[in-house]
Structure 1
Amino acid sequence: MATVNIYLTFNGNCKEAFDFYKSVFGGDYPYVGTFGEMPPQEGMAMTEEDKNRIMHISLPISKETLLMGSDTGGEWASSYQPGNNFSVSINADSKEEADKLFNGLSEDGRVTMPMNHTFWGAYFGMFSDKFGISWMVNYDDPAKAQQ
């Protein structure tokens, strides 16, 4: 069965916000990654400011719940507004479940990143549904995690 979490987006102050949330909820970050740690992408230049922005951070809230987030930057920054800075994140138990959820929920919506294998080893996609809600679908293949 898939799990659902909230994914927050910030405009340069993600780490500050998550440090605040951590001070309230407690716990530790299992992962904090910056855009500068991503593999280089052909034809894509990145400013020093963008390299230091958070690409992904997560904070466990309970056994079932993670608060996740990132900074926006580049072409995505122009559409950032406080209040539209979240997505519902689904972590599927299989690639088939990920495809089913992605295809069903994105019907008549707007796909911003089709389901595909990523450099971080997940099968991942993003879209806004026909009601304007932003979603992320992720499947972490255990076989790829061990490589």
Structure 2
Amino acid sequence: MGDAGRPTSRRERLPAELERDVLTAARRLIATEGIEVLSLSAVAREVGVTPSALYRYFEGKPGLTLAVYEAVTRDFVPITAEAAGAAELEEFGGQLYAATRAVLDWSVANPGEFDLLMGAGYARLARLRELRRPGAGPGTSGGLLSRGVEVKRVACADGVD
């Protein structure tokens, strides 16, 4: 729905639908063939548009890859958080085990997306385009995860977070 409860116009819906379809197709390509095959041309073929049409939505392959990275992360973080939350709240070891087990299960079920988030695909993405903010270096919060993905800090029992 648009402003004031009105349905969005077709003109407003079409770009959002195309972007959703592009991200779905890109994730499918990564899942079936790996991140190496991801390109604007391959995704455009999947969704039935010209590659040049996608440049209106993404800044080339790096922009498309970053958009996929952010979409995968938005889906992945709640899976891990839910698993950790299901463990005994007082037992940090149980929460850690549940979260890491969820990561393992997810990575086995989604090897292409795991490669993008935590494997060699992440390094390839970083080489495609410098995505950190100016001045951000190792150990700072200026990396890929700081863009468009909410990361919640959790205080430990000893008060250090």
Asked if Structure 1 and Structure 2 have the same fold, meaning a TM-score greater than 0.5 normalized by the shorter chain, the answer is no
TM-score (norm 1): 0.23
More helix by share: 2
Larger RCO (CA under 8 A, 6+ residues apart): 1
Larger Rg: 2
